Amino acid sequence: MPVDALWTAAGAVLVAVFGILAALFLLGIDRIVAARMQARIGPPLSQPLTDLRKLFTKENVVPENAIPWLFNAAPVIALASAITILFYIPVGGFPPVLSGGGDLILVMYLLTIPALALVAGGFSSGSPYATVGAQREMVTMIAYEFPLAVVIIAIGWKLAASGIPLPFTLASIQAYPIWGLVGPLGIIGALVLLFVLLIVTPAELSRIPFDTPEAETELAGGVLVEYSGKNLALFSLTQGVKTVVMASLVVALFIPWRLSAMVAAPPAIQPILDLLFYLVLVVLVAFVSVSLVRVSMTRFRINQVVSVYWIYFSLIGIAGMLLIMADHFLTKSVPAYWMYFPVLLPGDLFMTIAGHIMGVPWP
C-alpha cells in the first residue's frame, strides 16, 4: 500500500540520518575517551564533523594507474551498505524499519559488503601498500567471519529449539531475550558468546589490535593510502556507521530490554527514554570493545590475527554454543537441573532477583 511504503521510506531516511549523526557522535566519544585514558585532553566532541567537512573541501585525487570507476565507487558502496544494515537492526530503541524484510542471516551477509568494498578500493588504488593492505583486509575478514557466524547460529538455534517461530528475526530475539530462555549453564554460554562478539567488533571496524589493513606505522595508511577528499570522507563515515551497526547488534542480541518497559513512564516520553537508554548502551559497548581495547594493546601481525580468530575465538565460541546446547538438553530431561549443582545455586538466586527487578520471567 502506498501509504505504508511512504511511511517506511520516511522511516528509512530518518534512520539513515540518525545513523550518520550517531556515527559522528560515537567517533567523537571514542576519541575523547581514548585520549583521557592516555592522560591527554583530546579533541572536542565535534571533531569528526570538522574533519569530514574539511575532507569534503579537499581535492579528490585519483592516481594515474588506478581503476577510476572502482576507485570512486568503492566508498559509496561501503557507506550505502553500512547504512542499509541499519534498516534491519533495531536502532534508537525502535523496531527495525524493514522488520519483515530480513533477519540476522541477511545482516551477517550485509556486514561483509563494506569490507569487500574496502578491499576493492584497495586493489584498485594501484599502489603496493594498498595491495598489501587489501590482502590483509581479506584475510582478516575470512578470519573473523567464523566466530561471528558461531555466535549468530548459537542464538538462532536456541530460539528455534525453544519452539519460537522465525528464530533468526530480530523481532523474535527482542521479544524473547536469550537470558530468559536458558538455565545457568546457558547463562555462562551466552556470556561467552557476548565476549566473542565484543572481540569480533574491533576486527570488523579495523581497529587496534586488528587494524593490520590500515597499520599507520607499517604501511603508511594501508588500504586507504591513495584516498583523499570526498572518497576518504565517505570511508571514514563508513567506519563510524559500522561502529553504530556493530554496537546496535550487540545491544539487540544481548541487551534487548527497553527502559520504558522497566520504568512505568507516560507514553509521551517513552520514545525519548528508549532513545537515551539505547545511546547509553551503545556508548558503553563501544567503550568496552573499541576504545578500551584500542588503547591497551599493540597491533597484531596478520598471522596472529588469523590464529587468534580461527583457533582461539572459534574454540571459545563453539564452547559457548556447546554450553547453551548442553543446558537446553539438560533442562528438557532434568528440569531445574541446576539444583543438583550447588555451585550454580547462587547464579540461580541472582537471576531470580534480577528477573523480578527487570520483569523478565525466570523459570
Partner 1 sequence: MAMIRLPMVPELLRQLFTKPATNAFPARYLPPSVTEFLSQVAQGKAAINPPVPVPPKFRGKIAYDRESCIGCTLCLKVCPAHAIEFLPETKRIRIYITQCIFCSQCNDICPKGSLHMTPEFLLACENRYAESQIVE
Partner 2 sequence: MFTFQMDGEVVKSVDFAPGNTHRGIEWMGMRRNPVQILHLSERICGICGIVHALTFARAVEQIAEIEVPPRADYIRVIMFELERIQSHLLWAGVAAHELGFDSLFYLAWKVREQSLDIIENLAGTRVNYAIIQIGGVRRDISTEQVQLIEKGLSYYRGLLDQMKKVFLDDSTIRMRCRGHGVLTEQDARLLCAVGPTARASGVAMDVRHDYPYCAYGDLDVHPILPPQESGGPKGDVYDRISVRLLEIAQSIDIIQQCLDNLPTGEILWEKKMPKLLLTLKKAQGEAIGRVEAPRGECMHYVRMDGNDAPATWKVKASSYSNLMSWIPMLKGEQLADIPIIVASIDPCMSCTDRVAVIQDGSAGFLTKDDLTRLSREKTWRLMQCR
Binding site for partner 1 (CB under 8 A): 33, 35-44, 292, 295-297, 312
Which partner, partner 2, partner 1, none, binds residue 344 by CB below 5 to 8 Å per kind? none
- CA–CA separation, 326 and 324 (whole Å): 5
Residue 150: C-alpha distances to residues 192, 208, 287, 318 (Å): 11, 23, 24, 7
Which partner, partner 2, partner 1, none, binds residue 36 by CB below 5 to 8 Å per kind? partner 1
User: 91 CB contacts (<8 Å, ≥6 apart)?
Assistant: 15, 18, 19, 22, 244, 248, 278
- CA–CA separation, 149 and 155 (whole Å): 10
Give the one residue of 12, 67, 153, 220 binding partner 2; rule: CB under 8 A: 220
Give the one residue of 39, 41, 264, 343 binding partner 2; rule: CB under 8 A: 39
Binding of residue 4 to partner 2 (CB under 8 A)? no
Which partner, partner 1, partner 2, none, binds residue 352 by CB below 5 to 8 Å per kind? none
- Omega before residue 209 within 30° of 0, cis: yes
Which partner, partner 1, partner 2, none, binds residue 312 by CB below 5 to 8 Å per kind? partner 1
Residues in the chain: 363
- CA–CA separation, 284 and 292 (whole Å): 10
DSSP string, 312-339: IIHHHHHHHHHHHHHHHHHHHHSTTGGG
User: 227 CB contacts (<8 Å, ≥6 apart)?
Assistant: 75, 121, 125, 235
Which partner, partner 1, partner 2, none, binds residue 216 by CB below 5 to 8 Å per kind? partner 2
For partner 2, the closer of residues 121 and 183 by Cβ is: 121
Binding of residue 302 to partner 2 (CB under 8 A)? yes
For partner 1, the closer of residues 288 and 344 by Cβ is: 288
Among 286, 290, 258, residue whose Cα is nearest residue 90: 258
For partner 1, the closer of residues 27 and 104 by Cβ is: 27
Scanning 158-166, 219-227, 265-273, 313-321 for contacts with partner 2 by CB under 8 A, the matching segment is 219-227
DSSP one-letter code for 146? H
Extract the runs of DSSP E, i.e. beta strands, from the chain: none
Binding of residue 54 to partner 2 (CB under 8 A)? no
Give the one residue of 20, 27, 78, 132 binding partner 2; rule: CB under 8 A: 132
Minimum distance of partner 1 from residue 313's CB (angstroms): 11
Q: Which of residues 56-85 bind partner 2 (CB under 8 A)?
A: 63-65
Which partner, partner 1, partner 2, none, binds residue 57 by CB below 5 to 8 Å per kind? none
- CA–CA separation, 16 and 307 (whole Å): 36
Burial label for 335, CB within 10 Å (0-12, 13-18, 19+), is: exposed
For partner 1, the closer of residues 16 and 308 by Cβ is: 308
Binding of residue 300 to partner 2 (CB under 8 A)? yes
Minimum distance of partner 1 from residue 295's CB (angstroms): 6
Task: Find the radius of gyration of the CA atoms of the chain.
Answer: 21
For partner 2, the closer of residues 139 and 164 by Cβ is: 139
Minimum distance of partner 2 from residue 149's CB (angstroms): 26
Give the one residue of 13, 36, 40, 350 binding partner 2; rule: CB under 8 A: 40
- The contact set with partner 2 (CB under 8 A) reads 37-40, 63-65, 127-129, 132, 208-209, 211-212, 215-221, 225, 295-304
